[in-house]
Amino acid sequence: MGTPGYYIGLMSGTSMDGIDAALVNIAQERMELLHSISHPWPAPLKNRLQAQASGDTCTLQEYGELDHLCAQEFARAAEALLHATGIPSSMIRAIGSHGQTLYHQPKPPAPFTLQIGDPNVIAERTGITVVADLRRRDMAAGGQGAPLVPAFHQAVFSSPEKNRVILNIGGIANITILPAGGNPVRGFDTGPGNCLMDRWCQKQQGLPYDKDGRWAHQGEANAKLLHTLLQDEYFHASPPKSTGTEYFSLDWLESKLERHPNIPGRNVQASLLALTASTIAFAIQNWAKDTEEVLVCGGGAHNQTLVSALSDRLSPALVATTDSIEGGIQPDWVEAIAFAWLAKQTLDGMPGNLPSATGARHPVILGGIYSAGPVY
């Protein structure tokens, strides 16, 4: 597995429910999670980020301030992780920082993706080399820039006997299709994961998310609304494909609700949960029909109502979490560990993308290296 050592992965997804920080020891063919924490976003900064991520305009001053402030929080997350373990920064080979996505637009003629959290600030503050800006090289090679985790999923979760799908449910849901016996791996974003449910719950209940899907469980999906939601062209497009919360936003939802007024809030929530479950199941049944195991990670793994809905739709395939198999990983930390692994790939001069997932013309070494360097 290249050069062994300690690596830190930093990940904040489109749900913005915190910065996940994972300290990983990667040695030969073994990967060990040593410690992990979730560093909360300060509420004022989170509010500013959410305001920008759901809109189409951002002043240069606001962009610059957010880039710096996010970097400070990513650095604090890494520092808190090291403080909890007692491991000095000098023992860390690199930090793999995903950054915070503000906008993801992979369509021609000018595809781009924007993650902020200045890696120069992180490297300077922590004294650790940082690998960041991990999506744009894949886009330069004709890819979607997402999903990037399938290469890691292949390295960690593939089985010679089982046809598996790794399902990550963050703000956006994505799948990695891992056929048994090393056949070609595919992956793509299926559509909204938690993002619409979170935003609707915030608007209606004043809560950041629907814990365990309890509010959705109290409601009943509205068949007409669900039918309207499912007509969106994204769900019927062929992979490779990727999307973001700038597309599946509260504005997107409210434009659909205009056609279906006076639906009780809990029934809208139940419909959104059904949308997430239905589009994930549709993607798996259409592109991985021989799937035997669906291993779930991300925040959505804790939504029991959603997991139950997926189990119903995907039966007889087993639906379980990524820590349910031998050598598995606790579902909250899969993506953070993946970005530690991607940092290692970059430092070792190895590609980190999977063209069969992103649509890139060829494998590429991802990101830029921001060396901690000596202090003069």
Where b means 16+ CB within 10 Å and e means fewer, 39-54 reads bebeeebbebbbebbb
Residues 168 and 314 in one domain: yes
- The structure tokens listed for 264 are 């009780």
pLDDT at 2: 59
| Domain count along the chain | 2
Residues 222 and 125 in one domain: no
Structural contact between residues 199 and 208, judged by C-beta atoms closer than 8 angstroms: no
Residues 162 and 127 in one domain: no
pLDDT at 52: 86
pLDDT tens, residue by residue, 242-295: 999 999 999 999 999 999 999 999 999 999 999 999 999 999 999 999 999 999
pLDDT at 54: 66
Cα–Cα distance for residue pair 218/269, rounded to 1 Å: 9
CA separation, residue 97 to residues 185, 231, 321 (Å): 25, 36, 24
Residues 52 and 183 in one domain: no
Structural contact between residues 160 and 364, judged by C-beta atoms closer than 8 angstroms: no
Q: Residue 80 falls within a domain, yes or no? A: yes
| Residue for token pair 């198999």 | 325
| Residue for token pair 């598995």 | 328
Residues 183 and 306 in one domain: yes
Residues 209 and 292 in one domain: yes
Residues 184 and 253 in one domain: yes
Sheet arrangement for strand 172-178: 186-192, 172-178, 164-169, 293-297, 318-321
Provide block-wise average pLDDT over 10 residues at a time, the chain (376 residues).
Answer: 83 91 87 95 94 81 97 98 96 97 93 96 98 98 96 94 96 97 90 97 95 97 98 97 94 96 97 98 97 97 97 98 93 97 96 95 98 74
- The structure tokens listed for 114 are 């924007």
Residues 164 and 256 in one domain: yes
Q: Residue 48 falls within a domain, yes or no? A: yes
Residues 299 and 232 in one domain: yes
Cα–Cα distance for residue pair 339/9, rounded to 1 Å: 5
Q: Residue 121 falls within a domain, yes or no? A: yes
Q: Residue 175 falls within a domain, yes or no? A: yes
Range of the domain at 84: 5-145+333-370
Residues 58 and 125 in one domain: yes
pLDDT at 277: 98
Residues 127 and 184 in one domain: no
CA separation, residue 258 to residues 198, 225, 226, 261, 366 (Å): 20, 10, 13, 6, 42
Phi and psi at 66, nearest 5°, equal -65, -40
pLDDT at 28: 67
Q: Is the dihedral of CA 328, 193, 200, 11 positive or negative?
A: positive
Let me know the angle formed at the C-alpha of 29 by 24 and 33, rounded to the nearest 5 degrees: 20
Q: Which distant-in-sequence residues (6+ apart) come within 8 Å of 372 by Cβ?
A: 123, 124, 126, 127, 128, 129, 130
CATH number for 126 = 3.30.420.40
CA separation, residue 204 to residues 45, 198, 225, 279, 319 (Å): 22, 10, 17, 24, 30
Q: Residue 154 falls within a domain, yes or no? A: yes
3-class secondary-structure state, position 56: coil
Q: How long is the chain?
A: 376
pLDDT at 20: 97
Cα–Cα distance for residue pair 97/119, rounded to 1 Å: 8
pLDDT tens, residue by residue, 197-245: 999 999 999 999 999 999 999 999 999 999 999 999 999 999 999 999 9
Cα–Cα distance for residue pair 193/300, rounded to 1 Å: 7
Model-wide pTM > 0.85: yes
Q: Residue 248 falls within a domain, yes or no? A: yes
Residues 137 and 266 in one domain: no
Q: Residue 326 falls within a domain, yes or no? A: no
Q: Residue 292 falls within a domain, yes or no? A: yes
